[in-house]
A and B are shown apart, each in its own frame.
Chain A
Amino acid sequence: MTVIEMAKRNSTGGPDECPCREGMFPRIPQGRRALLLGGGSTVAAGLANAVTAAPTSAPPGAVWYETPPDPTKVQGRPVGSDGGYGTRSQFESAVRRVYSPANLYTSGSLTPLADMIGNTTPSGLHYERHHNGVPTIDPTRHTLVVHGEVRTPKRFTMTDIRRLPSVTRRHFLECSGNTYPEWLAPTGKTVQSTHGLLSTSEWTGVQFSVLAREVGLKFEGGWVLAEGADSAVMTRSIPVEKLMRDAILAYGQNGEAIRPEQGYPLRLLLPGFEGNTNIKWLRRLEVSDKPFMTREETSKYSDLMPDGKAWQFVFEMDAKSVITFPSGEMRLPGAGYYEITGLAWSGRGRVSKVEVSTDGGANWTAASFDNSPEPICTVRFRLPWMWNGQKAVLLSRCADETGYVQPSREQLLAARGANAYYHYNGIQSWYVAPDGRITNVAA
């Protein structure tokens, strides 16, 4: 597929192109939408009654098979027919999407948050943000060089790194530009477009503190330049204190090798720090007493304040939450019972509390958690809701274990003005119209 074809495939053209426009979950395959919409029946009934025009090709990441009328009357596929690596069901079609890309080499794709189940993002749906495309790297030729203020500068092969003691931890990653279109006013139509630069994985790798002993790090203050092996040769300066505290040189993601889009074969993982600092395709660490003032930490990824000064080295991602169901461009089929659900996360520790409002913020109810909150990780929250079929405005706000509470858009604007661009973590609100349609509105 050429880049142009890829752009056409991924870009959202008119609103009708968005398959999430109509219906609730699950994502409705082409050809079934009209039936599901028509009856006003429950989703299950809609699906059961659906007679589909047979698709002839599978969504990305799936293989198309003939669907028998009765799967109990024909033999299934023999074991091993997938070649030894399984794919998702041909009926699952959620994909990462690229929104308004100026340049597909320095753009991003967003995770379809409304389609996510549980708390882990499938590796193939982890959001992307590259600074000049995805490199192809042979792990047998890839090395990590560690030098500068160390007693023994060293080069590590991937074999060396995989022999060192490892840890496995679940953390979210979020681009500091996530949700930036919402700074001034509700803008994105779906939760994928407003909050999709967020994903959660189980990461496996070597702690930086282990590597520091291998090279004899000379001090525990100072900075380390991390450099990628992509064609942007991406660089950021990271405080040694952070690296020693909890940084991981990760080669594993969700039980297998990190995906190429996530830095194969090796990436830096800085729990809670803005996504771009988690240098992918990591090839070099240079220890110094001062930051290097790279392009990415001066002209980019700095937050402009109303007085014309810019905040620099704004690392931690503040606590944030969003309701993913129901969310923008969905349509509830009618009054009745629903489970409001969403994700909450904080770059400073565990999420301690999530509250949900269904009346635009007049009343708040504590939501329950699907999973035990882990440090610097998403938590899925939910709240049962009996919708009376009237207008409703759904909001979520979270707090983390430091006591920080997610602010409103107004509070953020008052504190940082309208030019900061990065690190928007305001409360998101979804409007539920009496006809069940969900739109992005100001609370």
Chain B
Amino acid sequence: MSPLRFVYSFLLVLVTLARGASVRADPQPIALPDLGQAITEGDLAGYFAIPPSGAGLPPGGGTPAQGELAYANHCAACHGDKMQGMPALGAPALTGGRGSLATGKPIKTVESYWPYPTTLFDYIKRAMPFDAPGSLTNDEVYAVTAYILASGRVIESSELIDASTLPKVAMPNRDGFIPDPRQH
């Protein structure tokens, strides 16, 4: 080996060593942290969200007549005995306002504005009464839903509201919504 080649070889060894020293062994790629505990349907019993299809609606049912008493006991204090709402409490009107949406004074209520009947059940069961959310039985929620829909003349006053009838209720403003059309 010529002296020059020796020097080259020596440098090559140095470079290799240097690279080996500066680049540590690559860590094994981690496919997935795999954290969290797998759950089953039974673990989800306490949760619900009712889409327009009615999927997940519980057993039970109620009529407007049955809902009248529950409404008086649990709802009227804020929403008013005629569902007129009490602005001073922040409680909206639940009925009235049909035909007002395109005017200078739109009144948004269940009958005038809400597009899906399932939303009413979901929201009452979820968040009402305001000071005792989630305290009504499923039958009471169905009955109050029926009473509000009947008071708004959306259903007949004798109709039973349950898991099969609720999703079929035709809301007056069902076609009143369009997806955001803003130019992005």
A29 and B179 alpha carbons, distance in the complex (Å): 49
Q: Quick check: A298 and B116 within 8 Å, CB to CB? A: yes
Cβ of B88 and Cβ of A154 under 8 Å apart? no
Kindly list chain A residues whose C-beta atoms are within 8 Å of the C-beta of B90: 101-103, 106-107
**Contact: A294 with B49, CB < 8 Å?**
yes
Q: Which of A304-312, A330-338, A370-378 contacts B (4 or more CB under 8 A)?
A: A304-312
Task: List residues of chain A with CB within 8 A of the CB of B89.
Answer: 102-103
Tell me which residues across on chain A come within 8 A of B116, comparing CB atoms: 293, 298
Q: How many residues of B contact A (CB 8 A)?
A: 48
B contact patch SS: loop
Contact B127 A132 (CB under 8 A): yes
B74 at the interface (CB under 8 A from A): no
- A103 CA / B43 CA spacing, docked (Å): 35
| A53 CB, min distance to chain B CBs, angstroms | 38
Judged by a CB distance under 8 angstroms, whether B130 is at the interface is yes
- Encode A402-420 as 1/0 by CB contact (under 8 A) with B: 1000000000000000110
Structural contact, A214 and B108, CB atoms closer than 8 A = no
In the complex, which residue of chain A has the Cβ closest to the Cβ of B30?
A: A165
CA distance A364 to B37 in the complex (A): 58
**In the complex, which of the residues A103, A293, A308, A318 contacts B119, with contact meaning CB atoms closer than 8 Å?**
A293
Whether B33 is near chain A, meaning CB under 8 Å from some CB there, is yes
Instruction: Report the interface size for chain A: residues with CB under 8 A from the other chain.
Output: 59
Chain B interface: which of A6-14, A55-63, A196-204, A226-234?
A226-234
Residues of B within 8 A of A293 (CB): 51-52, 115-116, 118-119
Complexed CA–CA distance, A146 and B43 (Å): 11
Shortest Cβ distance from residue B128 to the other chain A in the assembled complex, whole angstroms: 10
A353 to chain B minimum Cβ distance, whole angstroms, is: 19
Contact (Cβ within 8 A) A288 B177? no
Of B2-10, B15-23, B98-106, the one contacting chain A is B98-106
Contact of A235 among B32, B33, B126, B133 (CB under 8 A): B126
A304-B180 contact given A102-B88, A292-B51, CB 8 Å threshold:
no
30 intermolecular pairs with C-beta atoms under 8 Å apart: A102-B90, A131-B127, A145-B47, A153-B44, A155-B39, A157-B37, A160-B36, A160-B37, A163-B35, A214-B33, A231-B134, A284-B47, A291-B51, A292-B51, A294-B122, A294-B123, A295-B122, A295-B127, A299-B114, A309-B176, A310-B113, A311-B178, A311-B182, A312-B179, A312-B180, A315-B180, A316-B184, A318-B182, A348-B184, A419-B106
